[in-house]
Amino acid sequence: MSTDVPVTEEAVRPAPWRARLRALGSELAFPVSLFFFSRLALLLLARVSLVFDNRLHRPPFQQTGPAGLDAFCRWDCGWYTEIARQGYERPQATNFFPLLPMLGRLVREATGLSIQVSLVLVANVAGLLGLIVLYRLFRTLEDEDTARAALLLFTAYPFAFFQSAGYPESWMVFLTALAVLLSLRGRHWWAALALGFGGLSRHLSLVAGLSLLYQQLRSRGGGLKAWFHRDILALAVPLVVTSLYFVFLAWKFGDPQLWWKVRAGEWSGAWSGLGTWWLRDDWAPEVSLYVAVSFIPGVGALLLARRRQWWPLAAFGIPLMLVLWTVGLVGLGRYSAAVWPAFLPLGAWLARRPALRGPVVLGMALFQGMLVFLFVHSYPIN
Protein backbone atom coordinates (compact mmCIF):
# COMPACT_ATOMS: atom_id res chain seq x y z
CA MET A 1 0.00 0.00 0.00
CA SER A 2 1.43 3.32 -1.06
CA THR A 3 2.11 5.94 1.59
CA ASP A 4 2.51 8.81 -0.87
CA VAL A 5 0.34 11.81 -0.13
CA PRO A 6 -1.50 12.99 -3.23
CA VAL A 7 -0.46 16.48 -4.25
CA THR A 8 -3.36 18.73 -5.11
CA GLU A 9 -3.24 21.67 -7.51
CA GLU A 10 -3.56 24.09 -4.61
CA ALA A 11 -0.54 22.54 -2.86
CA VAL A 12 1.81 23.23 -5.75
CA ARG A 13 0.41 26.62 -6.56
CA PRO A 14 2.74 29.33 -5.20
CA ALA A 15 1.47 31.44 -2.37
CA PRO A 16 -0.20 34.66 -3.60
CA TRP A 17 2.31 36.86 -1.82
CA ARG A 18 5.19 35.02 -3.47
CA ALA A 19 3.66 35.48 -6.90
CA ARG A 20 3.15 39.17 -6.23
CA LEU A 21 6.72 39.48 -4.95
CA ARG A 22 8.11 37.82 -8.07
CA ALA A 23 6.00 40.06 -10.28
CA LEU A 24 7.19 43.13 -8.40
CA GLY A 25 10.81 42.02 -8.66
CA SER A 26 10.41 41.44 -12.39
CA GLU A 27 8.91 44.91 -12.83
CA LEU A 28 11.58 46.65 -10.77
CA ALA A 29 14.57 44.83 -12.23
CA PHE A 30 15.01 46.96 -15.33
CA PRO A 31 14.52 50.50 -13.94
CA VAL A 32 16.49 49.78 -10.76
CA SER A 33 19.37 48.20 -12.70
CA LEU A 34 19.36 51.10 -15.13
CA PHE A 35 19.46 53.59 -12.27
CA PHE A 36 22.41 52.02 -10.47
CA PHE A 37 24.39 51.39 -13.66
CA SER A 38 23.92 54.95 -14.92
CA ARG A 39 24.67 56.57 -11.56
CA LEU A 40 27.75 54.43 -11.01
CA ALA A 41 29.01 55.42 -14.46
CA LEU A 42 28.44 59.12 -13.73
CA LEU A 43 30.15 58.92 -10.35
CA LEU A 44 33.11 57.02 -11.79
CA LEU A 45 33.48 59.54 -14.60
CA ALA A 46 33.39 62.46 -12.17
CA ARG A 47 35.94 60.87 -9.87
CA VAL A 48 38.41 59.91 -12.60
CA SER A 49 38.16 63.28 -14.32
CA LEU A 50 38.77 65.20 -11.09
CA VAL A 51 41.73 62.97 -10.23
CA PHE A 52 43.42 64.01 -13.46
CA ASP A 53 42.39 67.67 -13.17
CA ASN A 54 41.06 68.86 -9.81
CA ARG A 55 40.65 72.51 -10.75
CA LEU A 56 37.24 74.13 -10.86
CA HIS A 57 37.13 76.41 -13.88
CA ARG A 58 35.01 79.11 -12.33
CA PRO A 59 36.16 82.05 -10.15
CA PRO A 60 38.00 81.78 -7.81
CA PHE A 61 39.28 78.71 -9.75
CA GLN A 62 39.96 76.76 -6.58
CA GLN A 63 41.03 73.15 -6.46
CA THR A 64 38.80 70.41 -5.10
CA GLY A 65 39.41 67.09 -3.41
CA PRO A 66 38.73 63.60 -4.77
CA ALA A 67 35.35 63.46 -6.45
CA GLY A 68 32.43 62.24 -4.45
CA LEU A 69 28.74 62.99 -4.51
CA ASP A 70 29.53 66.63 -3.81
CA ALA A 71 30.96 66.84 -7.35
CA PHE A 72 27.35 66.97 -8.51
CA CYS A 73 26.62 70.06 -6.44
CA ARG A 74 27.64 72.89 -8.76
CA TRP A 75 26.13 76.16 -9.97
CA ASP A 76 22.47 76.44 -8.84
CA CYS A 77 23.08 73.73 -6.27
CA GLY A 78 24.88 76.48 -4.38
CA TRP A 79 21.60 78.34 -3.99
CA TYR A 80 19.87 75.24 -2.66
CA THR A 81 22.80 74.72 -0.29
CA GLU A 82 22.37 78.25 1.06
CA ILE A 83 18.63 77.81 1.51
CA ALA A 84 19.07 74.45 3.24
CA ARG A 85 21.60 75.97 5.64
CA GLN A 86 19.98 79.26 6.58
CA GLY A 87 16.59 79.45 4.95
CA TYR A 88 15.40 82.23 2.69
CA GLU A 89 17.45 85.17 3.89
CA ARG A 90 17.99 86.89 0.54
CA PRO A 91 15.15 87.90 -1.80
CA GLN A 92 17.12 86.51 -4.77
CA ALA A 93 16.91 83.02 -3.26
CA THR A 94 13.11 83.00 -3.52
CA ASN A 95 13.46 82.11 -7.21
CA PHE A 96 14.30 78.57 -6.01
CA PHE A 97 11.38 76.55 -4.69
CA PRO A 98 11.55 74.87 -1.27
CA LEU A 99 11.04 71.11 -1.60
CA LEU A 100 14.63 70.13 -2.43
CA PRO A 101 16.36 72.28 0.23
CA MET A 102 13.82 71.19 2.85
CA LEU A 103 14.49 67.52 2.18
CA GLY A 104 18.24 68.13 1.99
CA ARG A 105 18.12 69.81 5.40
CA LEU A 106 16.23 66.84 6.86
CA VAL A 107 18.80 64.38 5.51
CA ARG A 108 21.60 66.57 6.83
CA GLU A 109 20.12 66.60 10.33
CA ALA A 110 19.34 62.88 10.29
CA THR A 111 22.68 61.65 8.96
CA GLY A 112 25.26 64.34 9.69
CA LEU A 113 26.31 64.39 6.05
CA SER A 114 27.23 67.67 4.40
CA ILE A 115 24.47 69.74 2.87
CA GLN A 116 25.91 69.24 -0.61
CA VAL A 117 25.96 65.46 -0.33
CA SER A 118 22.51 65.45 1.26
CA LEU A 119 21.05 67.44 -1.63
CA VAL A 120 22.58 65.07 -4.19
CA LEU A 121 21.31 62.03 -2.28
CA VAL A 122 17.81 63.47 -2.11
CA ALA A 123 17.87 64.19 -5.83
CA ASN A 124 18.97 60.63 -6.60
CA VAL A 125 16.28 59.08 -4.43
CA ALA A 126 13.76 60.91 -6.60
CA GLY A 127 15.72 59.79 -9.66
CA LEU A 128 15.30 56.15 -8.69
CA LEU A 129 11.61 56.54 -7.88
CA GLY A 130 11.10 58.46 -11.09
CA LEU A 131 12.52 55.68 -13.27
CA ILE A 132 10.33 53.11 -11.50
CA VAL A 133 7.18 55.17 -11.99
CA LEU A 134 8.04 56.06 -15.60
CA TYR A 135 8.63 52.42 -16.45
CA ARG A 136 5.24 51.43 -15.04
CA LEU A 137 3.55 54.36 -16.78
CA PHE A 138 5.17 53.62 -20.14
CA ARG A 139 4.20 49.95 -19.82
CA THR A 140 0.64 51.03 -19.13
CA LEU A 141 0.52 52.84 -22.47
CA GLU A 142 2.81 50.66 -24.60
CA ASP A 143 4.50 47.25 -24.68
CA GLU A 144 7.50 46.35 -22.56
CA ASP A 145 10.06 46.73 -25.34
CA THR A 146 8.88 50.27 -26.07
CA ALA A 147 8.92 51.11 -22.37
CA ARG A 148 12.51 49.92 -22.06
CA ALA A 149 13.65 51.84 -25.12
CA ALA A 150 11.92 54.99 -23.86
CA LEU A 151 13.54 54.67 -20.44
CA LEU A 152 16.95 54.11 -22.00
CA LEU A 153 16.58 57.26 -24.11
CA PHE A 154 15.36 59.27 -21.14
CA THR A 155 18.38 58.18 -19.07
CA ALA A 156 20.91 58.66 -21.89
CA TYR A 157 19.61 62.07 -23.00
CA PRO A 158 22.67 64.36 -22.85
CA PHE A 159 21.33 66.62 -20.11
CA ALA A 160 19.71 63.84 -18.07
CA PHE A 161 22.65 63.91 -15.64
CA PHE A 162 20.89 66.83 -13.96
CA GLN A 163 18.55 64.17 -12.55
CA SER A 164 21.60 63.07 -10.54
CA ALA A 165 22.78 66.52 -9.46
CA GLY A 166 21.66 68.73 -6.58
CA TYR A 167 18.78 70.13 -8.62
CA PRO A 168 15.01 69.63 -8.25
CA GLU A 169 14.48 68.25 -11.77
CA SER A 170 14.37 64.63 -10.55
CA TRP A 171 11.62 65.51 -8.08
CA MET A 172 9.67 67.28 -10.81
CA VAL A 173 9.93 64.18 -13.01
CA PHE A 174 8.99 61.74 -10.25
CA LEU A 175 6.03 63.70 -8.89
CA THR A 176 4.53 64.67 -12.25
CA ALA A 177 4.89 61.10 -13.54
CA LEU A 178 3.30 59.77 -10.35
CA ALA A 179 0.45 62.25 -10.69
CA VAL A 180 -0.24 61.21 -14.28
CA LEU A 181 -0.05 57.50 -13.43
CA LEU A 182 -2.47 57.91 -10.53
CA SER A 183 -4.80 59.91 -12.75
CA LEU A 184 -4.81 57.16 -15.38
CA ARG A 185 -5.85 54.77 -12.61
CA GLY A 186 -8.73 57.01 -11.58
CA ARG A 187 -7.17 58.17 -8.31
CA HIS A 188 -7.68 61.83 -9.07
CA TRP A 189 -7.31 63.24 -5.56
CA TRP A 190 -4.07 61.40 -4.89
CA ALA A 191 -2.83 62.51 -8.31
CA ALA A 192 -3.61 66.11 -7.44
CA LEU A 193 -1.79 65.84 -4.11
CA ALA A 194 1.31 64.41 -5.80
CA LEU A 195 1.25 67.24 -8.31
CA GLY A 196 0.97 69.76 -5.48
CA PHE A 197 4.27 68.56 -4.04
CA GLY A 198 5.65 68.69 -7.57
CA GLY A 199 4.78 72.38 -7.62
CA LEU A 200 6.85 72.86 -4.48
CA SER A 201 9.84 71.38 -6.28
CA ARG A 202 9.47 73.46 -9.45
CA HIS A 203 6.43 75.51 -10.35
CA LEU A 204 6.43 74.31 -13.96
CA SER A 205 5.23 70.96 -12.62
CA LEU A 206 1.77 72.51 -12.50
CA VAL A 207 1.58 72.28 -16.29
CA ALA A 208 0.86 68.57 -15.69
CA GLY A 209 -2.50 69.72 -14.35
CA LEU A 210 -3.59 69.83 -18.00
CA SER A 211 -2.95 66.10 -18.21
CA LEU A 212 -4.97 65.50 -15.06
CA LEU A 213 -7.82 67.61 -16.45
CA TYR A 214 -7.78 65.79 -19.78
CA GLN A 215 -7.82 62.39 -18.09
CA GLN A 216 -10.75 63.35 -15.88
CA LEU A 217 -12.81 64.57 -18.81
CA ARG A 218 -11.90 61.56 -20.95
CA SER A 219 -12.77 59.08 -18.21
CA ARG A 220 -16.30 60.55 -18.06
CA GLY A 221 -16.84 60.67 -21.79
CA GLY A 222 -16.44 64.42 -22.09
CA GLY A 223 -19.43 66.72 -22.36
CA LEU A 224 -20.66 69.45 -20.08
CA LYS A 225 -21.55 67.12 -17.21
CA ALA A 226 -17.94 65.99 -16.90
CA TRP A 227 -17.00 69.51 -15.83
CA PHE A 228 -19.37 69.36 -12.86
CA HIS A 229 -18.15 66.11 -11.34
CA ARG A 230 -16.91 66.46 -7.77
CA ASP A 231 -13.44 65.18 -8.72
CA ILE A 232 -12.89 68.33 -10.78
CA LEU A 233 -12.36 70.06 -7.44
CA ALA A 234 -9.21 67.96 -6.99
CA LEU A 235 -7.52 70.10 -9.63
CA ALA A 236 -7.43 72.93 -7.11
CA VAL A 237 -5.26 70.89 -4.74
CA PRO A 238 -1.96 71.44 -6.63
CA LEU A 239 -2.60 75.19 -6.62
CA VAL A 240 -3.39 75.19 -2.92
CA VAL A 241 -0.32 73.12 -1.97
CA THR A 242 2.02 75.18 -4.15
CA SER A 243 0.56 78.41 -2.79
CA LEU A 244 1.85 77.45 0.67
CA TYR A 245 5.21 78.72 -0.56
CA PHE A 246 3.67 82.06 -1.46
CA VAL A 247 2.05 82.25 1.96
CA PHE A 248 5.49 81.74 3.46
CA LEU A 249 6.91 84.54 1.30
CA ALA A 250 4.15 86.85 2.51
CA TRP A 251 5.01 86.01 6.11
CA LYS A 252 8.79 86.22 5.62
CA PHE A 253 9.14 89.15 3.22
CA GLY A 254 5.68 90.71 3.22
CA ASP A 255 5.23 89.97 -0.49
CA PRO A 256 3.78 86.66 -1.81
CA GLN A 257 4.87 87.60 -5.35
CA LEU A 258 8.49 88.25 -4.46
CA TRP A 259 9.75 85.14 -6.31
CA TRP A 260 8.12 86.46 -9.48
CA LYS A 261 9.42 90.00 -9.07
CA VAL A 262 13.07 89.06 -8.54
CA ARG A 263 13.11 87.32 -11.89
CA ALA A 264 12.91 90.75 -13.55
CA GLY A 265 16.21 91.68 -11.90
CA GLU A 266 19.05 89.23 -11.39
CA TRP A 267 17.25 86.38 -13.12
CA SER A 268 15.84 88.29 -16.11
CA GLY A 269 18.16 86.57 -18.62
CA ALA A 270 16.98 83.16 -17.47
CA TRP A 271 13.48 83.93 -18.78
CA SER A 272 14.45 84.49 -22.41
CA GLY A 273 13.15 82.27 -25.19
CA LEU A 274 13.95 81.08 -28.69
CA GLY A 275 12.80 84.39 -30.13
CA THR A 276 15.40 86.29 -28.12
CA TRP A 277 18.05 83.72 -28.98
CA TRP A 278 17.30 84.10 -32.69
CA LEU A 279 17.38 87.92 -32.66
CA ARG A 280 20.58 88.28 -30.65
CA ASP A 281 24.01 86.92 -31.53
CA ASP A 282 25.80 87.52 -28.24
CA TRP A 283 24.73 84.35 -26.44
CA ALA A 284 27.36 82.08 -24.91
CA PRO A 285 28.12 78.96 -27.00
CA GLU A 286 26.50 76.61 -24.50
CA VAL A 287 23.13 78.32 -24.96
CA SER A 288 23.10 77.42 -28.66
CA LEU A 289 23.95 73.85 -27.61
CA TYR A 290 20.91 73.85 -25.31
CA VAL A 291 18.70 74.98 -28.16
CA ALA A 292 19.99 72.38 -30.61
CA VAL A 293 19.68 69.45 -28.20
CA SER A 294 16.25 70.56 -26.98
CA PHE A 295 14.78 69.63 -30.35
CA ILE A 296 15.18 65.95 -29.42
CA PRO A 297 12.46 66.06 -26.73
CA GLY A 298 10.76 68.82 -28.73
CA VAL A 299 10.12 66.45 -31.63
CA GLY A 300 9.15 63.69 -29.20
CA ALA A 301 6.62 65.96 -27.51
CA LEU A 302 4.97 66.83 -30.83
CA LEU A 303 4.82 63.13 -31.78
CA LEU A 304 2.67 62.50 -28.71
CA ALA A 305 -0.29 63.82 -30.70
CA ARG A 306 -0.07 60.93 -33.17
CA ARG A 307 -1.69 58.23 -31.01
CA ARG A 308 -4.81 58.58 -28.92
CA GLN A 309 -3.39 56.53 -26.04
CA TRP A 310 -0.59 59.09 -25.74
CA TRP A 311 -2.88 62.10 -25.47
CA PRO A 312 -2.83 62.20 -21.64
CA LEU A 313 0.94 62.69 -21.92
CA ALA A 314 0.58 65.11 -24.83
CA ALA A 315 -1.59 67.36 -22.65
CA PHE A 316 1.47 67.83 -20.43
CA GLY A 317 4.47 67.33 -22.72
CA ILE A 318 3.52 69.66 -25.58
CA PRO A 319 2.56 72.70 -23.44
CA LEU A 320 5.61 72.21 -21.22
CA MET A 321 7.96 72.11 -24.20
CA LEU A 322 6.37 75.23 -25.66
CA VAL A 323 6.73 77.05 -22.33
CA LEU A 324 10.40 76.08 -22.10
CA TRP A 325 11.07 77.28 -25.65
CA THR A 326 9.36 80.55 -24.73
CA VAL A 327 10.90 81.40 -21.34
CA GLY A 328 13.51 78.75 -20.48
CA LEU A 329 16.44 79.51 -22.77
CA VAL A 330 19.34 79.73 -20.31
CA GLY A 331 18.34 76.50 -18.54
CA LEU A 332 16.92 74.77 -21.60
CA GLY A 333 19.35 71.86 -21.33
CA ARG A 334 18.29 70.61 -17.91
CA TYR A 335 14.70 71.82 -18.35
CA SER A 336 14.22 69.82 -21.55
CA ALA A 337 15.57 66.71 -19.78
CA ALA A 338 12.53 66.89 -17.50
CA VAL A 339 10.05 66.65 -20.41
CA TRP A 340 9.69 62.93 -19.81
CA PRO A 341 6.50 62.35 -21.90
CA ALA A 342 8.50 63.13 -25.05
CA PHE A 343 10.60 59.99 -24.68
CA LEU A 344 7.70 57.56 -25.11
CA PRO A 345 7.17 58.19 -28.86
CA LEU A 346 10.95 58.35 -29.31
CA GLY A 347 11.18 54.98 -27.56
CA ALA A 348 8.44 53.59 -29.81
CA TRP A 349 10.42 54.70 -32.86
CA LEU A 350 13.64 53.16 -31.54
CA ALA A 351 11.94 49.92 -30.49
CA ARG A 352 11.01 49.29 -34.12
CA ARG A 353 14.65 49.71 -35.13
CA PRO A 354 16.65 47.40 -32.84
CA ALA A 355 19.81 47.80 -34.92
CA LEU A 356 19.90 51.48 -34.02
CA ARG A 357 19.24 51.06 -30.31
CA GLY A 358 22.85 50.47 -29.27
CA PRO A 359 24.43 53.23 -31.39
CA VAL A 360 21.79 55.83 -30.50
CA VAL A 361 21.84 55.18 -26.76
CA LEU A 362 25.63 54.89 -26.65
CA GLY A 363 26.10 58.08 -28.67
CA MET A 364 23.80 60.05 -26.39
CA ALA A 365 25.45 58.60 -23.30
CA LEU A 366 28.91 59.60 -24.52
CA PHE A 367 27.67 63.10 -25.21
CA GLN A 368 26.24 63.16 -21.69
CA GLY A 369 29.61 62.09 -20.33
CA MET A 370 31.29 65.07 -21.98
CA LEU A 371 28.75 67.41 -20.38
CA VAL A 372 29.26 65.77 -16.98
CA PHE A 373 33.00 66.40 -17.29
CA LEU A 374 32.31 70.08 -17.95
CA PHE A 375 29.73 70.32 -15.17
CA VAL A 376 31.81 68.80 -12.38
CA HIS A 377 34.73 71.06 -13.35
CA SER A 378 32.43 74.09 -13.12
CA TYR A 379 32.46 74.98 -16.76
CA PRO A 380 29.30 76.95 -17.67
CA ILE A 381 26.96 73.99 -18.17
CA ASN A 382 23.94 74.74 -16.03
Interval 99-156: pLDDT, tens = 999 999 999 999 999 999 999 999 999 999 999 999 999 999 999 999 999 999 999 9
Structure letter (DSSP) for residue 87: -
* pLDDT > 80? residue 9: no
Rounded (10°) angle between helices 115-141 and 343-351? 60
pLDDT of residue 268: 59
Looking at the predicted structure, is the pLDDT value of residue 199 above 70?
Answer: yes
Q: Is the pLDDT of residue 266 over 70?
A: no
**What does the pLDDT read at residue 382?**
85
Residue 203: the pLDDT is: 93
Task: Give the pLDDT score at 1.
Answer: 46
What DSSP character marks residue 154?
A: H
Average pLDDT over residues 167-185: 97
Average pLDDT over residues 223-252: 91
Residues 179 and 212: their CA atoms lie apart, in Å, by 8
d(CA 104, CA 163): 15
Does 301 or 285 have the greater pLDDT score?
Answer: 301
What does the pLDDT average to over 146-168? Answer: 96
Give residue 68's pLDDT: 77
Q: Which of 15-24, 97-106, 152-161, 256-265 has the lowest mean pLDDT?
A: 15-24
Mean pLDDT of all residues in 70-78: 90
With cut-offs at 50, 70 and 90, classify the pLDDT of residue 25: confident
Mean local confidence (pLDDT), 328-352: 95
Is it the case that residue 329 has pLDDT exceeding 60? Answer: yes
pLDDT value for 214: 95
Question: Does residue 246 have a pLDDT over 80?
Answer: yes
Taking the alpha carbons at both ends of the chain, their separation in whole angstroms is 80
Q: Place 65 in a pLDDT band, splitting at 50, 70 and 90.
A: low
16: buried, middle or exposed (CB in 10 Å: 19+, 13-18, 0-12)?
Answer: exposed
Query: Which residues are CB-contacts of 159 (< 8 A; sequence separation ≥ 6)?
Result: 290, 293, 333, 334, 336, 337, 368, 371
Distance CA 216, CA 208 (A): 13
* Per-residue model confidence (pLDDT) at position 6: 53
pLDDT on residue 269: 64
- What letters, b where the CB count within 10 A reaches 16 and e where it falls short, cover 203-237? ebbbbbbbbbbbbbebbeeeeeeeeeeebbebbeb
What span, in angstroms and rounded, lies between the C-alpha atoms of 372 and 55?
A: 15
- The tens digit of pLDDT for each residue in 346-357 reads 999 999 999 999
Is the pLDDT reported for residue 67 higher than 70? Answer: no
pLDDT value for 272: 86
Q: In this predicted structure, which of 13-22, 23-32, 201-210, 271-280 has the lowest mean pLDDT?
A: 13-22
Helix (H, G, I), strand (E, B) or coil at 169: helix
Q: Which has the closest alpha carbon to 185: 210, 157, 219, 214?
A: 219
